[in-house]
Amino acid sequence: MTLGFGILEIVVSLAAMLSAAAGLTWVERRLLGFWQDRAGPNRVGPFGTLQAVADGVKLLFKQDWIPPFADRGVFILAPAAGMATVLLGFAVIPVTAGWSVAGHLNVGILFFLAMTSLGVYSVVLGGWASNNKFALLGGMRAAAQMVSYEVFMGLSLLGTVMLAHSFSLVDIVMAQGRMWFIVPQFLGFVTFLLAGIAETHRLPFDLPEGENELGAGFHTEYSGMKFGMFFIAEYAGIVLIASMITTLFLGGWLGPVLPPVVWFLLKTGLTICFFILLRAALPRPRYDQLMMFGWKVLLPVCLLNVAVTGAAILLFSPTG
Partner 1 sequence: MLSNVRTLWLTFLHLFHRSETVGYPETKPYMAPRYRARIILSRDPDGAERCVSCNLCAAVCPVDCISLQKTEDQGRWYPEYFRINFSRCIFCGLCEEACPTYAIQLTPDYEMSEYERPNLVYEKEDLLISGTGKYPDYNFYRVAGMAVPGKDKGEAEREDPPVDIHGLLP
Interface pick for partner 1 out of 6, 11, 15, 34 (rule CB under 8 A): 34
Compare residues 54 and 278 and give the one whose CB is closer to partner 1.
Answer: 278
Instruction: Using the minimum distance from each CB to partner 1, give the nearer residue, 36 or 317.
Output: 36
Query: According to CB under 8 A, which one of 33, 67, 103, 224 is a site residue for partner 1?
Result: 33
Q: In the complex with partner 1, which residue's Cβ is closer, 7 or 277? A: 277
Per-residue contact track with partner 1, 243 to 282, x per CB under 8 A?
Answer: ----------------------------------xx-xxx
Residue 37 interacting with partner 1 (CB under 8 A):
yes
Q: Does 39 bind partner 1 (CB under 8 A)?
A: yes
| Rg of the chain in Å (alpha carbons) | 20
286 makes contact with partner 1 (CB under 8 A):
no
Among the residue ranges 32-40, 78-86, 161-169, 301-309, the one whose residues contact partner 1 (CB under 8 A): 32-40
Number of residues engaging partner 1 in binding (CB under 8 A): 13
Binds partner 1 (CB under 8 A): choice among 4, 5, 38, 286? 38
Count the neighbouring beta carbons within 10 Å of the beta carbon of residue 202.
21
| Distance from the Cα of residue 292 to its chain's centroid | 22
CB of 277 to partner 1, least distance (A): 6
Nearer to partner 1, 31 or 241 (CB): 31
Nearer residue to partner 1 within complex by CB, 153 or 194: 194
- Provide, rounded to whole angstroms, the least separation between the CB of residue 278 and partner 1: 7
| C-alpha–C-alpha distance, residues 213 and 274, integer Å | 26
Cα–Cα distances (Å) from 133 to 43, 127, 217, 220, 258, in that order, read 37, 9, 9, 10, 52
By CB under 8 A, name the binding residues for partner 1. 31, 33-39, 277-278, 280-282
